[in-house]
Chains A and B, each alone.
Chain A
């Protein structure tokens, strides 16, 4: 059905001086697929995510993305203008801390509408209508549209951040610990929502998390990282049910059973 990947990552390494951020990472991501990157703190998950999403220049390697015209472009060989345009139209980036991804001093409606205005939407009524729709889809009631995110709870802020990213209909979303800092019941709802949106919109996503439950619920495939290396890579259920590497076995067995 779909015969070409959306994203090709080959030989990506990032060194901080002599220390390794991540080393020689290769993978492909297919449209509609959710890939989880798991590992302990400091294992290079976020470094890798930043390298792929052009937020951090890798030391070596290439990241190729299939543009809407069907051609692959190396993200580090396109102009900065194209890259930034890509980031705010075809991509989304959900930060762990919503304050990093939102404009905290403008209203929820303006937060959602920003990307629309950035691509040239100039009709206030239509922007507001779209923003209202999206707030509804992430379960924020329409009467909060003029409130600033400062007045929102952690879970609401995270949902608002998701709405803000999805409003332009991106094909690829990066998420860095999207449920970090939320309590368990809010986490569950958020995961449910994200899973629904990803399915409905056919999004591809790369989710960085240290929480194996998040990986289990959201992702189709997962990569396990340790000390900057990808040590195991496979279908999520396979990796979690039948971990091969000793470290992965340790990781899986250390999940608290209630």
Chain B
């Protein structure tokens, strides 16, 4: 196995590239929420698969690190499995699906339910880093708006949401203000996860490969979701509990079971769900089966 690796540098990228990316990361950490341009490399996977996140992970990973990769909260979907396999192959690092065991967690669209610690780094895959992009298409103009802290436009979007739908209808990639200065796109995570970013113990890094931007939220940094005084920010709530583990107050996925309206709600964070079931928690859907077995 190790002999095969001779053709790759450790973690795929060459050391000079890693240095360049680490520099961008350091700058991003120094200016929370600011998008640092970097010379994004071609990666052996298509754009949209997390090339930005992969480059960030490749630059910070060490031989002793334990990597976890999640996609929409799950460890077992194509994107997560492929990226995990990629790092096993090119860095030969230990991998895990357990949130608590991981030192680096690369994620697409979720933050794990379990509270992260200061020993962990969360790496986000970001498709479009610019929160103002769909309001102002010119990059020259959005950079100026960030520089001069002109964020009125972001509220125009929220105003429009309320005017058309009676509430702020944005449910993911919900804009946040970091450390009282930069408005940031938290990547397409559900707004349910926004409060977890606030004063997080873990370092949060964001990589956008196609758009060539890296940004960061250092540990213990204020992350505030934008809102109106009379329409405060609120997160999604679910009427049901997880059908498998009975968890309440976590983010649930709706799974359609048949074509007669059958559906179930399960934890989007698969590790969290499995962990709970191991500890004896049982959801509505597993409970009757157990009774039948008895």
Contacts and interface: CB of A to CB of B under 8 A. Distances in A.
A124 B160 CA distance: 10
A105 to B, nearest CB: 9
B30 interface: no
B164 interface: yes
A107 B158 CA distance: 12
Interface of A is mostly: helix
A58 interface: no
Interface in A106-120: 106-107, 109-110, 113-115, 117-119
B152 A124 contact: no
B229 interface: yes
A169 B152 CA distance: 17
B152 A117 contact: yes
Contact of A127 (B153, B159, B227): B159
A127 B155 CA distance: 11
A146 B164 contact: yes
Contacts of B139: none
Interface string B136-165: 000000001000101011011101101110
Interface string A16-39: 000000000000000000000000
Given A80-B148, A117-B155, A119-B152, A110 B230 contact: no
Interface residues of A, number: 22
A103 interface: yes
A174 B2 CA distance: 71
A122 interface: yes
B166 to A, nearest CB: 11
Contacts of B157: 106
Nearest to A79: B148
Interface of B: 144, 148, 150, 152-153, 155-157, 159-160, 162-164, 227-231
Interface of A: 80-81, 84, 103, 106-107, 109-110, 113-115, 117-119, 122-125, 127-128, 145-146
